[in-house]
Amino acid sequence: MFIHRRGANAVARSLRRPPPYPDHLVVRMLAIPAIDLREGHVVQLAGASFEDEVVRLDDPLRIAHQWALAGFTRLHVVDLDAASERGSNRDVIVRLLHAGAAPCQVGGGVRSERQVHDLLEAGAAGVMLGTRALEDPDWLARVAFAHPGRCLLAADVRERRLVTRGWTQTLPREVLSAVDDVAALPLAGLLVTAVHREGRMEGTDLRLMEEVAEASPFPVFAAGGIGTMADLWALEERGVAAAVIGMALYAGVLDPRRVAEEFAL
Ligand code: AMZ
């Protein structure tokens, strides 16, 4: 039996109160470092702008090992060139998967069932599907049933509206309607990226994440804007299953060991 008030003990400790539940009964949120790939490098973009690259590191495998050494047990790998239809980092991704520093969820530009199949064959723990999944619901259903428990719907959201194609297209649909539409599929999770918060470290869109976590029958992976331990505790309190952290780890604003110690067991 698990207590589902995720993070209640951590919040109590942060307030210097005794934890309300025995630790072994509390389900913890997972923190996942982002490895965003561009032209073979690991990058971070400020405010989601390709013109405003603020981090560029040249050895993705070394970085993956560094996050694993810090204690993280999953990595979030995105091919930004493929997502924005500018190129591909497929070779780097295959090398990352073969290196096996930690299980990887992979996405960005995955637009065919063959690509999903190949990534899983190459060792991906999960595949994130955004643009094609949102534009072509029948395709998503086919792929999800062909690979049950391995696909995540990537819902990139600016304010409440879904955005696709490297965040250049805005769909008329809102994120909560997309959650309803996929509720019967055997997905591994729902990745919600608050594009309007991305790369700023000014806090995530908590209301959005809370509403999606309430509506979603799948584990919710939250991304965008995480900058502090308090952001992580707040997400956990709202029932979010996993948090993807980018800029705050690369900028050294969050201590990776401290985050992994609490959120990656
Ligand atoms: O930074 C961007 N412009 C960007 C980005 N990080 N565009 C897409 N993505 C990510 C999504 C999701 O994980 O957050 O790529 C994935 C979806 O890709 P696609 O090609 O399936 O929409």
Ligand 1 geometric centre to CA of 8 (Å): 32
Q: Which pair of structure tokens corresponds to residue 227?
A: 């900058």
Mean residue pLDDT of the chain comes to 93
| pLDDT above 70: residue 7 | no
Ligand 1 in reach of 246 Cβ (< 6 A): no
Ligand 1 geometric centre to CA of 82 (Å): 9
Least confident of 19-33, 69-83, 126-140, 249-263: 19-33
| Cα-based angle 132, 198, 194 (whole degrees, multiple of 5) | 55
| Beta strands, E only, the chain | 30-38, 41-45, 53-57, 75-79, 104-107, 126-129, 151-158, 161-164, 169-174, 189-194, 220-223, 242-245
Least confident of 122-126, 172-176, 197-201, 230-234: 197-201
pTM: 0.93
CA–CA distances in Å: residue 87 to residues 9, 50, 146, 209: 45, 14, 27, 31
In percent, the amount of the chain with pLDDT more than 70 equals 97
Q: Which residue has the higher pLDDT, 218 or 19?
A: 218
Summarised one tens digit per residue, pLDDT across range 96-121 is 999 999 999 999 999 999 999 999 99
Among 143, 141, 142, 168, which residue's Cα sits nearest to residue 156?
A: 168
Structure confidence at residue 25 as a pLDDT band (50, 70, 90): confident
| pLDDT above 80: residue 41 | yes
Output phi, psi for 4, to 5 deg. -95, 5
Q: What is the pLDDT of residue 4?
A: 47
Q: What is the pLDDT of residue 2?
A: 45
Please report the atom of ligand 1 found closest to the CA of residue 133: 21
Rg (CA), the chain: 17
Please report the atom of ligand 1 found closest to the CA of residue 154: 12
Q: What is the pLDDT of residue 48?
A: 76
Q: Which residue ranges form the domains of the chain, and what is each CATH number? A: 8-14+29-263 (3.20.20.70)
Ligand 1 in reach of 199 Cβ (< 6 A): no
Q: What is the pLDDT of residue 233?
A: 95
